[in-house]
Amino acid sequence: MDWLTRPLPDTVEIAGQHVKIRTGWRRAVRSYILQSSNEDGLNLTDATALLTSWFARNGQIPQIVKDNPYMALSAAYDWRDSAFGQAMPYGDGSSDNTSKKTFDWEADSGIVRIDFKHIYGIDISVYQAHWYEFALLFSGMCAMDTLTSNAMQARRPLPSDAADYERKQHRALERAWSLPLTEYERVKMHNARILEEW
């Protein structure tokens, strides 16, 4: 994508039609929070809230969205997620194949706010921006020495060939920057303990 001269994307394709999507960064962050808090998928109320947030104009959801809610939600997620792929199209191509969570929009909101203020001088409580612009700033911030990048690095697993002293240091950082358990994780741990006691 040409970030310098082309307008940022503000439509998604639903059933062959281009439909305007509301582009504010808060909607995208809320959708990540809602999606991560529903491990078994979104319920009807949450899905409707997301569709309304992204597509409603003057309180009305377009008919094409009403007729194709799953397609609309999928298109909105793709639009949201592609902001990071297009914002940082480079990298080493490696994948560590781990599902370990290194960032949480809700739990890390305080350090993100501090970093935006420190790095860019932006108070994100009043900042209005297109999601893709926010994603560019966030990605750039994560490439710097910031609280957010330090937290994410501490939560990543070390390579298998890491030295013992690195592992010890990493464990301490991992504990300091650990994410709180989700409700789903708490229930899973509780059930595992019950099974162990049997």
What span, in angstroms and rounded, lies between the C-alpha atoms of 52 and 177?
35
Q: Are 27 and 11 in contact (CB under 8 A)?
A: no
Residue 107, CB half-sphere, CA atoms under 13 Å: how many? Answer: 14
- Provide the pLDDT for residue 99: 61
Average pLDDT, the chain: 88
Can you give the residue ranges of every domain in the chain? 1-91+98-198
Looking at the chain, the number of H-run helices and the number of E-run strands are 9, 2
Kindly write down the DSSP assignment for every residue of 39-52, as one continuous string: TT---HHHHHHHHH
List pLDDT tens digits, range 73-106.
999 999 999 998 755 444 434 444 456 789 999 9
Q: What are 45-80's pLDDT values in tens digits?
A: 889 999 999 999 998 999 999 999 999 999 999 999
Instruction: Collect all residues with Cβ–Cβ distance below 8 Å to 89 and sequence separation of at least 6.
Output: none
* Residue 30's pLDDT band (cuts 50, 70, 90): very high
